[in-house]
Chain A
């Protein structure tokens, strides 16, 4: 069964606002990765955070990881229309590289 759950399932905000998406998982992990998918195309790798890291930044992206709560969040600051996409978190169980994906958050940025 799917390990990850994402919240919210859909998010609609105005351009320039910040968008926050959350991901929860059930078992211990090595790493957690966030991906973006535009209109049913391939996945674009956004950021990887290791289990011993608490926060990571990449451009307008900020990812946090709380292993005690088995949860992660993705923050996109100063959103743009081009950020409209589905965002997925994916975890790998310890010792494996097979990814288990969350259900995804559909983000819409309104101009």
Chain B
């Protein structure tokens, strides 16, 4: 399976600021996704990161709050904008490759705390 890395692994940020999270894969993948896991909760899909075009957001998530880029087949970023304490979560990217088109693999996550 693809090796997925995320930066930063964790961060503590002040409210009102923004944080950009990077997701890097060691091989080309067909699909990339971003998920959020709030404390003690399960995962919720934020958006599908589309290569070279705007991301596709799920209900309840908007581009102004969570801008996403995917400039190529191995890299994507998620920005959490104008943060509030409610944004404190683990943010995870995931990928699907052509080699295993049905299996989805996750990065190690970024633990964000907003004070």
Contact = CB atoms under 8 A, between A and B. Distances in A.
A19 B90 CA distance: 27
Interface stretch (B14-22, B69-77, B101-109): B101-109
A42 B106 contact: yes
B103 A99 contact: no
B104 A103 contact: no
B33 to A, nearest CB: 7
Interface residues of B, number: 26
B48 A48 contact: no
B82 interface: no
B43 A97 contact: no
Interface stretch (A33-41, A54-62, A65-73): A33-41
A45 interface: yes
